[in-house]
């Protein structure tokens, strides 16, 4: 599989470059980052801390996609739409872990999926995908007698809140219980907690890679479903696993849930 990495000089992009370089069934044929990136012109393998791969990091995605089979994207939301349109023109499949996409970008994914395979997830951890399924099941079975609170923790350099994964977990709860309304933190005198609330809280500090906990709180008991990331490479491994899944798929929109389901049934 001939792979291009978009956002190749970033933290996650470098992780993907290293994994592709190690894989026997993949080869890196392109590495792309934004025009102002200090790594432009440098070998993607050396930037990622591995061997010289003979692939220089370039700002030109269109040229990088010539002859490619699949694009792995770990970039930023403002670059997503242009990336996806370029991949559509090149007829190259896309696996993306870029977060904070707006409705326009989500609509564009649906449009792209009519011509190429696209798999997008705000969190490429297989464990988080399983966590979301457990949350949906628990909320559905426990009913309105249990209040729901989501707490996420990340490193002190994270610039957005709540995390895309926290939003993903809120959406899982909302699928199970219609009418849930996110409330982001509390202060002052917000009044008694409404039955339709789902509290969302963000912690920031140190070098935390990513912790997510969903609390389901009843009058006499509390259930906590927790996921803690202890190695940032797990997200890159999830993306590479998704790439292998997508390689044999026709045009369409896919999710990490499809990857997990296929693994269970195969």
Cα distance between residue 39 and residue 48, in whole Å: 10
What pLDDT, on a 0 to 100 scale, did the predictor assign at position 266? 46
Cα(46)–Cα(56) distance, rounded to whole angstroms?
10
Instruction: Note every long-range contact of 60-66, with CB atoms under 8 Å and residues 24 or more positions apart, other chains counting.
Output: 60/32, 61/4, 61/6, 61/30, 61/32, 61/86, 62/86, 62/89, 62/90, 63/30, 64/4, 64/29, 64/30, 64/31, 64/32, 65/4, 65/30, 65/90, 65/92, 66/90
The pLDDT value recorded for residue 235 is 94
Handedness of CA 23, 24, 26, 28 (dihedral sign): positive
Q: Are 12 and 236 in contact (CB under 8 A)?
A: yes
CA of residue 264 relative to chain centroid, distance: 21
Residues 6+ apart with CB under 8 A from 62: 86, 89, 90
Domains along the chain with CATH numbers? 2-120+232-265 (3.40.50.720), 126-229 (3.30.360.10)
Catalytic residues, by residue number, are 154, 158
- b vs e for 113-139, b when ≥16 Cβ sit within 10 Å of the residue's Cβ? beebbbbbbbbbbbebbebbeebbebb
- The count of other CB atoms within 10 Å of the CB of residue 51 is 12
| pLDDT at residue 263 in the model | 67
| Residue pLDDT tens, the chain, 266 long | 999 999 999 999 999 999 999 999 999 999 999 999 999 999 999 999 999 999 999 999 999 999 999 999 999 999 999 999 999 999 999 999 998 899 999 999 999 999 999 999 989 999 999 999 999 999 999 999 999 999 999 999 998 899 989 999 999 999 999 999 999 999 999 999 999 999 999 999 999 999 999 999 999 999 999 999 999 899 999 999 999 999 989 999 999 999 988 865 54
Distance of alpha carbon 34 from alpha carbon 98, whole angstroms = 15
Please report the pLDDT score of residue 231 as a whole number: 93
Q: Output the pLDDT for position 122.
A: 87
How many Å apart are CA 238 and CA 234, to the nearest integer? 6
* pLDDT at res. 217: 98
- Contact assessment for residue 77 and residue 101, using Cβ atoms and an 8 Å cutoff: yes
Would you state the pLDDT for residue 262?
83
């Amino acid at each position: 599989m001939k792979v291009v990495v978009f956002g190749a000089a970033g933290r996650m992009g470098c992780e993907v470059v290293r994994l592709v370089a190690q894989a026997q069934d993949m080869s890196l044929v392109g590495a792309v980052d934004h025009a102002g990136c200090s790594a432009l012109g440098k070998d993607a393998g050396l930037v990622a801390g591995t061997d010289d791969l003979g692939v220089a990091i370039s700002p030109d995605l269109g040229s990088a996609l010539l002859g490619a089979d699949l694009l792995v994207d770990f970039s930023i939301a403002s670059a997503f739409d242009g990336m996806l349109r370029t991949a559509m023109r090149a007829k190259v499949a896309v696996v993306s872990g870029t977060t904070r996409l707006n409705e326009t970008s989500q609509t564009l994914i649906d449009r792209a999926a009519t011509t190429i395979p696209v798999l997008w997830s705000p969190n490429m951890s297989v464990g988080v995908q399983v966590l979301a399924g457990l949350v949906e099941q628990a909320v559905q079975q426990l009913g309105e007698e249990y209040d729901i609170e989501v707490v996420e923790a990340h490193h002190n350099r994270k610039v957005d809140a709540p995390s895309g994964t926290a939003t993903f977990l809120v959406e899982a709860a909302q699928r199970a219980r219609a009418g849930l309304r996110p409330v982001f933190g509390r202060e002052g005198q917000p009044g008694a907690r409404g039955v339709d609330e789902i509290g969302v809280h963000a912690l920031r500090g140190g070098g935390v890679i990513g912790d997510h906990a969903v609390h389901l709180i009843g009058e006499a008991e509390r259930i906590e479903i927790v996921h803690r990331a202890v190695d940032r490479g797990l997200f890159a491994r999830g993306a590479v696993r998704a790439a292998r899944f997508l390689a044999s798929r026709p045009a369409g929109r896919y999710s990490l849930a499809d990857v997990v389901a296929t693994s269970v049934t195969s």
